[in-house]
Every structure is written in structure tokens, then in C-alpha cells.
Structure 1
Amino acid sequence: MRLSREIGNNLNEWEAKTAAYQIFKNVAKPGYKYIEEEDLLRFLSKEELEIVLPLFEGAAETGKIKKSALKNWVVKCYLDRKSLAHSLNDTKTAVKQLDKLAAALVIVIIIIITMLLMGFATTQVLVFLSSQVLVVVFMFGNTCKMAFEAIIFVFVMHPFDVGDRCVVDGVQMIVEEMNILTTVFLRFDNEKIYYPNVVLATKPISNFYRSPDMNDSIEFAVDVSTSIECIGFLKARVKAYIDNKPNHWNPKHNIVVKDIVNVNKMNMALYVQHTMNFQNVGEKNNRRSDLVLELKKIFEDLSIRYNLLPQEVHLSYKGATPPPMPIF
């Protein structure tokens, strides 16, 4: 789309937000707080409109696009295009480095073949060159092996691109830069970590960006005296909330009773599926937080509580012995 290409030309996130404001101002009617369907039909066909509306939060249900929803979408487009631009740039750099290595190897081969064809390569010359090659192999053989393995990792295995959120050695990081020999990661506290690609080739790597819609779970406990009818109301309320957030949650969800503990507590869990992977961890946390708060509200409305069993309490006095009272 022409709109997406224009967004990709922005220099930073602030300019992306400014572009979203200008788009809203130009498309929405003057003084309106929403972009309505008739506003979009000036630029799109009805078939295109059905594809576009679900991209914006809440627009599929209401047929209106809020300013905040448009801003979030434009910023997301900008970040995606920025990651793509970095990935293409790093790939181009890696290809140039590989091209230089290949060119140097081809030049050496051409020189040897030329010497053989012109008769300059006598027995003494060949012995001398062979000895030099053995010296080079002895000195740089391991380096050449590592370089070859790194090239296989970058161009054949290629488990991630720049901007992908990955987990390596149990640490969640963003891919900042890719080279032939090393990859630079950015940790959650913006600390840069350099990994040799040869080392990465031996490790399991989790990639959030390439994952499909991911699952989540929320565990909680209720009092064992909670009625079956009340639990049924709980399931109905949760289903209604998830159905009203089709841009956040897939309809597929489940509430299960895991076990009963000490005959006074039922451990339960809500299993849900996001409509996204966890590449954008901030958005994932916001959605999960809203769901937890909605659960809390449902518990309050249905008076679902959890009470501890009665506990024995033993009191003892350990202070100084009081002085005897004077006798008059």
C-alpha cells in the first residue's frame, strides 16, 4: 500500500506518530473522533475495507477507527519496516564480505592455473607453494573452519533476522546486528551481547517473531465452597470478555480445575491464546494485565473468595518480670 511506503520513510517513532495524526486529520470528517466506514470508502473498495478494518483495534466490531488505534498501527508499521531495513542492510554487508573472500580465493586459483598453463610452475615452484599452503593451513585452518561454519549458520540455517526477539541460554534478547562471524544482541536492559556465530550454531534458539499465535495461562485459587453454578457464571463472563476482544484473544480458551488442596482450596487455571506472538512483549504484557484485572472484577462481582483454614495461635509473654506492688 502507498500508505505503508510513506510510513516507512519516517526517521523515527515520533515522526510515525505525527504521520498518524496527519492521516487521521485528512481522512476523518472535521471535528469527528473516529474514522468511519464512509470515510474509508473514498479510498478503498468494500472488499479492501473488510480486510483493513480488522487491522485496527476495535474497528471490526464498531466499524470506526479510533485515533489511538490508528497511531498504534502506524507505529507498528514503522517498527516492522525499520527491522526489515536493518536486516536487509546487514545481509547486504555480509554478502559483500563473503564476496570479497570468494574473490580472493578465485584470484589465487587463477594465478595458479595461469602459472601451470604458461609453464612457470616447475617442480620447485609447486613444492614451494605446497609448503606455503601447509603453513597457512596450519596457522589459519581452525579460523577457516570457523568462518565456513559461520557462513553456513548465517546463510543456510538463518534462525533469525535483525529485530527478532529470541531466547538464547535462557535470556530474552533482540537481534541488533548480524555479521558473518558474530551476532550482536540487545538485552532487556539495553546491554549489548556479542555471540560468535559458531557458538550460536550449537545452541537451541527460540524465535518469538517466527512463532505463530502463542498461548498463555493464568493460575488462581478459589474456596472449595464455591458453588458449581458460580463457576459456571465465571466461565460465561470470561467467555464474554474474550469474545468482545477478537483483536486480542482467539476464541479458543479453557478454564480447568487442576486439583483440590487441603479440602479448602481449588487450584484453577485459565488457558488462552493471543492473536499475536510475543515479539512485542510490551503489548503482550498489557493484554495479559487487562485480562487479570477483568478476572479480579469478575471475582468481586460473583463474591468468589478464598479463605484460609483456621490456624492455632499460641501466645506467650516474654517481657521482664514486673516489680512487686508495694504493700501499705
Structure 2
Amino acid sequence: MVHAYVERKALAHSLNDTKTAVQQLHMLASAIVTVIIIVISLLITGLATTKVLVVFTSQLLLVGFMFQNTCKTIFESIIFIFVMHPFVVGDRCVIDGVQYDAEKIYYPNSILLTKPISNFRRSSDMGDAIDITIDVSTSVDDFNALKKAIQLYIESKPKHWNPKHTLLVKEIENVNKMKFTLCVQHTMNHQNYGEKSARRSELVFELKKIFDNLGIKYHLLPQQVHLMHVDMFGNGGMSM
């Protein structure tokens, strides 16, 4: 019910914004049509000669030259809103590498037209990745058991995860730790970021339980420790 309410609220805002844009476009088109009708009427009735029309047209061109940036912005806005239409109210988007959600930030349409826009709502099911480090001494049998346990968990959550997943070994570092990445695919896109984060958190916690059950750990390399003894009686002596 909450999800339906949020969707209906976003749709209402989207329809309201679209209605406002259409009204503004209608006013602009009406003004242009009115000017054209007046010019044609003056020509038909003979009230305006060709010379007067040339002077009038030259003045319009001068005004257009003076406000060319405004005219360009209006044209680009029309293309952006009614042709490209990359998002609506309520969509979670990443614009130029920055994510915006429930935050009102105003960009001129002419600037948005030149920026890459990622729309989560219009995306298909999206993936996720979890980086993990284990001890390089982990046996092959334990590693295979780890893969099997992860597979069983993911298959037990068909409403949360796509069964296709990969466990990629990235590298062995410092001869004591092995880094790998678990790549999974959600059964949803990242529009609902709270739900996405909750699913990921549950998966990470399940990984922790699997590690505990299999006894898979990570041990640091032995570290060199220096011990110092300071003479507390003021003899000035110091030993290591």
C-alpha cells in the first residue's frame, strides 16, 4: 500500500508538471500564430504594404537576434521535455555521475540536454557486487563448500536474487590473502534504494554466517614488534 501511494503521488506530480509545460507551450504557440494571422490579415486588406512588411520583419529579426540565447533555450527545452523526456517526477537518477533522490536541484534544460542521465526506474534488473578477502591457506574443499553455500542461499531467495551469480577470484595479495568478488543480480532495479540496501545487507550477514560455519577466516601476516625498556630510576639507561 505504501509503494502504491508513493507511485500515485509521483504520478500526480509528473502529470502536474507536464500540464504546466503544455500550457506554457500552448501560450507560446498561440502568440506565434496570432502574429502570423495579423501579418496575413494586413496583407490581404492592403493596410500594410510590402515596404512596411519588410521593415516589420527586419525588426522581428533584430529582436530575434537580441534574444537568440532565449530562443535557443526555449527550443532546447521543448526537445528535452517532449522529445527526449529522460525522467519524470519520482525517478531516481544519476546526472553527470551524481545521484539525486528527494533533493530539489534546478538545472537549466539546456545544460541537462548535454549531460549523461542514468534513470534507475527505467532500468532493467540491476546487479550488485560484494568484495571479500579470505586467508590464502583456505583449502580448495572449503572454497568449493563456500560456493555451494552461497548458491543454496541465493536459490532460496528467488524473489530477491536472480539464480545466476559469479564468484570471481581477483588476486592473491602479500602471499597471505585472497581477494574475490561475489557478483549477484537483484530481481529489481535500484529505484527503491532502501529495499536494495536491505537485501544486500541480508546477503552480507548470511556470508558472515557461512564463513563462521565453514571456519573460513583471514589472518594477518606476523608483524615485527620492538620492545623497549626505560629506566624509571633516572639512570639514563635504555634497553631493547
Q: State the TM bucket, normalised to the shorter chain.
A: over 0.9
TM-score by length of 2: 0.93
> 2:70 aligned to 143, 150, 155, which one?
143
SS state at 1:195 partner: coil
Give aligned-pair identity as a percent.
62
- In structure 1, the residue matched to 2:238 is none
Aligned to 1:196: 108
Unaligned runs of 5+ in 1: 1-73, 175-185
Distance (Å, rounded) in 1 between the aligned partners of 2:32 and 2:144: 72
Which residue of structure 2 lines up, in the alignment, with residue 217 of structure 1? 129
Aligned match of 1:80 = 7
Question: Are 1:322 and 2:209 an aligned pair?
Answer: no
Q: CA RMSD in A?
A: 1.5
Distance in 2 separating the partners of 1:227 and 1:112 = 88
1:285 paired residue number: 197
Question: Superposed, which structure 2 residues align to 1:1-328 within 5 Å?
Answer: 74-174=1-101, 186-187=102-103, 192-317=104-229, 322-323=233-234
Alpha-carbon shift at residue 156 of structure 1 (Å): 0.6
The whole-number CA distance in structure 1 between the counterparts of 2:69 and 2:234 is 86
Q: Whole-Å Cα distance in 1 between the matches of residues 220 and 173 of structure 2?
A: 11
| Secondary structure in structure 1 of the residue aligned to 2:107 | strand
What SS does structure 1 have at the residue aligned with 2:54? helix
Cα distance, 1:323 vs. partner?
3.0
Could you give the per-residue CA deviations for residues 296-319 of structure 1, whole angstroms, max 9, x where no partner exists? 0111111100001111112234x5
Q: How many positions carry a matched residue from both structures?
A: 235
Aligned partners of 2:50, 2:34: CA distance in 1, in Å?
22
1:242-291 deviation per Cα after TM superposition (whole angstroms, max 9, x unaligned): 11111110111111221111221111111100000001111111000000
* Aligned partner of residue 67 in structure 2, secondary structure: helix
Tell me the amino acid that sits aligned with residue 56 of structure 2. Answer: L
Stretches (4+) displaced over 4 A: none
Q: In structure 2, what residue type is equivalent to 1:121?
A: A
Segments of structure 2 that go 5 or more residues without pairing to the other structure are 236-240
The structure with higher relative contact order (CA 8 Å, sep 6+) is 2
Partner of 1:51: none
